[in-house]
């Protein structure tokens, strides 16, 4: 996608990633969305979909927000303009969109959150706001004006369900047409206004906050034997001042915290479990049919191919000469080769009945836990 603006993916990461906005004209030449406005509205009517309907405009600040699931009647009552429908996790609700997400494989899988689709009438907007994550904004159909500012007043509009900036003065302005894409780093204020009815696809890149990590690690450590270990001070000296937490204690507690956190080999396992489940809206469900090696061998090629459950994020890492595969917070041991194959949809689809006993057993376990499924051909 970056060849259209004279960049390689690595040059983009070096010069723009988390640094400054970049307009990429015709990042997807001749782009035609897999879903139309009616399809997106249909998704917003589903019980499991996270969706919002926003009306209003800037600077009038007449914002109103309602949350799905919606009904067909909700859409018949929409005004002619100044409305936006947003649906999160579109690529999970409609798995064929996963092929579009492969365009972002140059970014580590654990950093990719979801594809949010917004459909808007003329003037549709969610107001000027600031996101604390990287986002790629692809114009899928119609046209939209984007105003961006890297210097702004952070005060938010009071008594509003949206995090809308009270005031906003753009420093840059671009008109995007179908196939154009805008990259925005965290902290860049932006305001998108639909120039005409259209659709925008937003690929968000999430990173955990310190609070996310500390909270999740505390919960994880509490489930480990002995609550993850306990502070010890065998070299304790006589207290000189009552009530003081002295320098020796502070240093000891810091060492204890470090050795039981990032310095603990088990911390890598925690990270794999945490990052493979971070911000997943739903958990994978087990299948109706439980697989064993015999049934798997009978069912796989040429009758069916293995696919990832769209609600499972697959990651792997090496821990003390072992390869650990993580699937939506669950941990499995396997070879590097098999981990790479399972995490790559194209290689996964090529796995056949010639799997070894250990590999076959793991695939059966992943199928039975709902992380994989067999797609009939």
- 130 against 217, higher pLDDT: 130
311-324 per-position pLDDT tens digit:
999 999 988 788 99
Token pair listed for 304: 């069916």
pTM: 0.92
38-65 per-position pLDDT tens digit:
999 999 999 999 999 999 999 999 999 9
Q: What are phi and psi of 103, to 5 degrees?
A: -65, -15
In order of their start, the domains of the chain are 2-205 (2.60.120.650), 210-218+265-377 (3.40.366.30)
pLDDT > 80? residue 260: no
Neighbouring residues of 373: CB distance < 8 A, sequence distance ≥ 6? 287, 306, 307, 309, 367
Indicate the SS3 state at residue 292: coil
96-144 per-position pLDDT tens digit:
999 999 999 999 999 999 999 999 999 999 999 999 999 999 999 999 9
- DSSP E strand stretches across the chain: 22-24, 51-55, 64-67, 83-87, 112-120, 129-130, 134-141, 144-149, 172-176, 181-184, 189-194, 198-205, 304-308, 314-319, 322-327, 330-334, 372-376
Pick the closest to residue 108 from 134, 87, 131, 76 (CA basis): 134
Question: Mean per-residue pLDDT for 72-100?
Answer: 95
Pick the closest to residue 83 from 67, 63, 60 (CA basis): 63
* DSSP result, 231-248: ---TT----SSTT---HH
Quickly count: other Cβ atoms within 10 Å of residue 77's Cβ.
6
12, 38 contact by CB (below 8 A): no
Indicate the SS3 state at residue 37: helix
145-193 per-position pLDDT tens digit:
999 999 999 999 999 999 999 999 999 999 999 999 999 999 999 999 9
Question: Mean per-residue pLDDT for 324-337?
Answer: 96
pLDDT > 90? residue 223: no
Q: What is the C-alpha to C-alpha distance for residues 129 and 135, in angstroms, rounded to an integer?
A: 13
Token pair listed for 339: 């981990």
In the block, tokens 């938010």 appear at: 156
CA 307 vs CA 204, 304, 343, 363: distances in Å? 23, 9, 10, 11
Token pair listed for 40: 């997106």
């Amino acid at each position: 996608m970056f060849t259209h603006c004279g960049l390689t993916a690595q040059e983009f990461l070096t010069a723009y990633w988390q640094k400054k906005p970049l307009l990429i004209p015709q990042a997807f030449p001749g782009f035609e969305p897999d879903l139309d406005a009616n399809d997106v509205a249909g998704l917003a009517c589903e019980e499991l979909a996270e969706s919002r309907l926003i009306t209003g405009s800037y600077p009038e600040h007449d914002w109103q927000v309602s949350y799905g699931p919606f009904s067909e009647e909700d859409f018949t009552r929409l005004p002619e303009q100044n409305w936006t429908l947003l649906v999160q996790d579109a690529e999970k609700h409609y798995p064929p969109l996963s092929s579009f997400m492969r365009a972002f494989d140059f970014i580590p899988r654990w950093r990719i959150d979801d594809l949010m689709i917004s459909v808007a009438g003329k003037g549709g907007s969610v107001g000027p706001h600031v996101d604390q994550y990287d986002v790629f904004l692809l114009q899928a159909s119609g046209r939209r004006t984007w105003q961006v500012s890297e210097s702004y007043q952070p005060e938010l509009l009071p008594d509003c369900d949206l995090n809308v900036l009270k005031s906003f003065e753009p420093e840059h302005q671009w008109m995007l047409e179908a196939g154009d894409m805008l990259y925005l780093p965290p902290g860049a204020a932006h305001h998108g206004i639909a120039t005409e009815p259209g659709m925008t696809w937003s690929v968000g890149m999430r990173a955990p906050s310190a609070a996310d990590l500390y909270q999740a690690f505390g919960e994880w450590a509490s489930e480990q034997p002995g609550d993850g270990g306990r502070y010890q001070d065998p070299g304790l000296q006589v207290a000189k001042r009552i009530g003081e937490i002295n320098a020796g204690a502070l240093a000891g507690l810091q060492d204890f915290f470090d050795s039981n956190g990032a310095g603990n080999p088990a911390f890598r396992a925690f990270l794999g479990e945490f990052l493979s489940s971070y911000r997943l809206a739903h958990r994978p469900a087990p299948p109706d049919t439980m697989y064993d090696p015999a049934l798997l061998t009978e069912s796989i090629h040429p009758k069916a191919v293995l696919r990832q459950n769209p609600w499972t994020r697959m990651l792997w890492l090496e821990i003390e000469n072992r390869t650990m595969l993580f699937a939506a917070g669950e941990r499995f041991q396997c070879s590097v080769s098999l981990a790479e194959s399972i995490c790559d949809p194209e290689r996964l689809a090529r796995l056949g009945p010639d799997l070894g006993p250990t590999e076959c057993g793991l695939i059966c376990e992943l199928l039975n836990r709902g992380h994989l499924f067999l797609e009939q051909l």
